Amino acid sequence: MYELSKTFRFEAAHRLAKGFTGKCANIHGHSWNGKLTVETSSLDEFDFGVDYSILGKFTKEIEGLLDHQILLYADDGEVVDFVVRSRFNHVLFEHNPTCETIARWIWQRAMKYFQDMPDVRVRYVEVSETCTTGCRYSEKVQ
């Protein structure tokens, strides 16, 4: 089995809502780092498991969606209203935009992106919001 990885990064602000009262309830920014890892058991005619340019195309799409955005919980009422009214770039999530939520959001997109490559399986997505904190997300795939 071969595991292949591609890292990515983006700059984004977020805040944790849903009644959270810690420091992260304030809008603040991070230099986010991520890593996509896929696996395959076969090599193509060029002896690649997956050409890194294919992984890079996906990670560039993620960077394009998240870089310089404000990441918010969709039900964050007044803050969402203000951001929309002010025409700030933003992405809304069904849950608080924690590392966990963002890693799962990226993983779901990776699953769709690689669905037509039958011998390629998304192993996990890692997202770090600081140099000391991060999350790895994966799901058991049958």
Helix (H, G, I), strand (E, B) or coil at 52: helix
pLDDT, tens only, 49-91: 999 999 999 999 999 999 999 999 999 999 999 999 999 999 9
Query: What pLDDT does residue 61 have?
Result: 98
Checking if the pLDDT of 34 tops 80, the result is: yes
Residue 24 burial (CB count, 10 A): 16
Query: What pLDDT does residue 141 have?
Result: 60
H helices of the chain, where?
52-66, 77-85, 99-113
pLDDT, tens only, 93-141: 999 999 999 999 999 999 999 999 989 999 999 999 999 999 999 987 6
